[in-house]
């Protein structure tokens, strides 16, 4: 899949965090397309191509989902559960990207089959480095089936 764009669905309610992710993806120049929604209900609507995402060209299937836990409308763990229990979406890797270091949140996320759990650093430089490393691992080095 070298050179083919990977659709990344970012589910993040904090605009500053979303902007860090967006800028880092642009700076990395890896072949990817970032789609951003700001709450859990919008994430589910995007995946099911309903409501404002009913046009399939505006809501292409993501190759990976970056999911915050503390979201308005539908909590991130509930979104994760919906994704991983639906045969249409269960194979999409879901990476939790959250401020929560709570052991309980990590256990719940992995129990619901999260593929990775990343804690957002408070420091801007560290957050940028985390996103750079994430980008290389998931979008450049990791292999996805066709």
End-to-end Cα spacing for the chain: 8
Please choose, from the candidates 119, 131, 96, the residue with its C-alpha nearest in 3D space to the C-alpha of residue 22. 131
pLDDT average, residue stretch 19-29: 80
Provide φ and ψ at 68, rounded to 5°. -75, 155
Q: Is the pLDDT of residue 98 over 60?
A: yes
Q: What is the pTM of this model?
A: 0.90
Three-class DSSP category at 63: coil
State pLDDT tens for residues 52-64. Answer: 999 998 899 999 9
Task: Check residue 110 and give its pLDDT.
Answer: 96
Which residues, other chains included, contact 78 with Cβ-Cβ below 8 Å and sequence gap of 6+? 40
CA 51 vs. chain centroid, Å, equals 20
Task: Check residue 24 and give its pLDDT.
Answer: 81
Task: Check residue 32 and give its pLDDT.
Answer: 78
Domains of the chain (ranges plus CATH)? 6-141 (3.40.50.2300)
């Amino acid at each position: 899949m070298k050179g083919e764009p990977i659709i990344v669905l970012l589910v993040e309610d904090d605009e500053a965090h979303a902007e860090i992710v967006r800028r880092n993806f642009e700076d990395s120049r890896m072949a990817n397309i970032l789609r951003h929604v700001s709450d859990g209900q919008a994430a589910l609507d995007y995946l099911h191509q309903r409501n404002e995402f009913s046009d399939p060209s505006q809501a292409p299937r993501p190759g990976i989902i970056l999911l915050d836990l503390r979201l308005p409308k539908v909590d991130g763990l509930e979104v994760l559960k919906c994704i991983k229990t639906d045969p249409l979406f269960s194979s999409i890797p879901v990476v939790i990207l959250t401020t929560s270091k709570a052991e309980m949140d990590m256990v719940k996320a992995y129990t619901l089959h999260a593929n990775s759990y990343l804690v957002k650093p408070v420091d801007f430089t560290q957050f940028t480095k985390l996103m750079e490393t994430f980008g290389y691992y998931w979008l450049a080095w990791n292999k996805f089936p066709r």
